[in-house]
Amino acid sequence: MADVKKHDTPMCDELKTGNWPSFVDDLEQRGLAGKQECLDLLGQLELSYKHKETHWKHGGIVGVFGYGGGVIGRYSDVPDKYPSIAHFHTVRLNQTSSKFYSSAYLRKLCEIWDYRGSGMTNFHGSTGDIILLGTKSNQLEPIFYDVTHQLGTDLGGSGSNLRTPAGCIGKSRCEYACIDSEAICYDLTQTFQDELHRPAFPYKFKFKVSGCPNDCVAAIARSDCSIIGTWKDDIRIDQSAVQAYVNGELKPNAGAHSDRDWGKFDIQKEVIDLCPTKCMWMEGKDLKIDNRECTRCMHCINIMPVALRPGVNTGATILLGAKAPILDGAQLSSLAIPFIRMEPPYDEFKDFVGKIWDWWMEEGKNRERFGELMQRQSLQKLIKMAELTPIPQMIKEPRSNPYVFWSAEEVEGGWERDVKAFRSRHAA
């Protein structure tokens, strides 16, 4: 056994007894094979369980030269007890589009990290980056040199920066992709290098790109700006394949969920009745869709992928303002642009991004997410600042309209309001 010291960690050890593999096992194994950091980390965690408070200090001044992100300073506040993790900085690396790696790449990365850091990784952080957990300040520049020169990999975003953009596997593997999510993700990463590596904003900002409304990267829940592929024209229908599903020759959901016998496929019950806008029906043997009413939910396409395909007139829907529940609870993003072409060089989209960033940089409070600014200053202000044209779809329901309010200048003849006279008739 390597020359390492294992701490007594009864509470951590309990986590090993469950049914699932435990990070405690992983840390212990790697630690006993020679990484004192892993054992010290478990020791400090045990202490935190005991004291019911963290023993990490909050942040710090670390980074690599010229970058204002990608490295997060972590310092132990009990370094005497656990000296190997006195510095335990996190390094974020920009993952490849859709997270395709070769095994050679991963081996090289692990070699570098075993040599210069704790050997512990987190594939992937919730933003999408490769997270390398735990290294010392004097290793940061060498790590940066090695990953850029040997792997061609850059640091990711952290702090009040643009965060590393992420996308679904899109056109490389998925027939549903309406836009090239990987190309878009890569282009945004390159275009906004400055915002990605140096803090520019009141708080973090995330782009996520999904090729279709199935939204496999959960852009609508996890990004300040969600780019989701969609189509304008009609769902493509192959009526003979529809019949093949009806007759049981093709498996619904491409055979997923086939571990149980769900009985004979029933197109009425499983597809038509579940269409959220009720815009599908059978006419004899033909499946009909009123495409004007279709909300592109993907349900019918997911069930009968051979028979139904997204249209060919494709682009993206842009939504803004999702965030996790720090202030005011979690929030999904709200519709900003129902349809925009997403062809390189994506100028129309980038113009739009410039406008919303200007607004946020000007008006956003410290540590206010973009979605919180939208909430605070209203969706009406958003469409004004982003120079969007209001459309009927922005009306949530009759008499409840979060996006559009007229101002006197916008209405022919305008109007005048005497607040004093109003108040004489109505209590404040």
Partner 1 sequence: MAVDKEELKAKILEFATKKAKFKSKMYIKDLYAAEPNASPREIKNAANDLVKEEKLEFFSSGSTTMYGVPGFGKGIEEAFEDDKSE
Candidates 4, 32, 72, 332; binder of partner 1 (CB under 8 A) is 72
Q: How far is the CB of 388 from partner 1 (least distance, A)?
A: 21
Residue ranges in 74-198 assigned as alpha helix (H): 103-116, 140-151, 181-191, 193-197
The closest residue (CB) to ligand SF4 is 211
C-alpha neighbours within 13 Å on the C-beta side of residue 287 = 27
- Among 267, 352, 304, residue whose Cα is nearest residue 176: 304
Binding mask 191-220 for partner 1 (x = CB under 8 A): -------xxxxxxx----------------
Contact between 73 and partner 1 (CB under 8 A)?
Answer: yes
Q: How far is the CB of 185 from ligand SF4 (least distance, A)?
A: 11
Place of tokens 């512990």: 120
How many residues of this chain bind partner 1 (CB under 8 A)? 33
CA distance linking residue 332 with residue 168, whole number of Å: 18
Contact between 289 and partner 1 (CB under 8 A)?
Answer: no
Spatial contact of 363 and 370, defined as CB atoms under 8 Å apart? no
CA separation, residue 380 to residues 384, 392, 417 (Å): 6, 14, 20
Q: How far is the CB of 232 from ligand SF4 (least distance, A)?
A: 13
Contact between 160 and partner 1 (CB under 8 A)?
Answer: yes
| Contacted entry of ligand SF4, partner 1, none for residue 254, CB cut-off 5 to 8 Å set by kind | none
Dihedral over Cα of 148, 152, 156, 162: its sign: positive
Enumerate binding residues for ligand SF4 (CB under 6 A).
168-170, 174, 176-177, 181, 210-212, 214-216, 275-277, 279-280, 289, 294-301
Per-residue b or e along 96-135, where b marks 16 or more CB atoms closer than 10 Å to that residue's CB: bbbeeeeeeeeebbeebbeebbbbbbeebbebbbbbbbbb
Query: Where does this chain touch partner 1 (CB under 8 A) — which range of 11-19, 43-51, 57-65, 370-378?
Result: 57-65
Contact between 66 and partner 1 (CB under 8 A)?
Answer: yes
**Contacting positions for partner 1 (CB under 8 A):** 57-63, 65-66, 68-69, 71-73, 90, 158-161, 198-204, 358, 361-362, 364-367
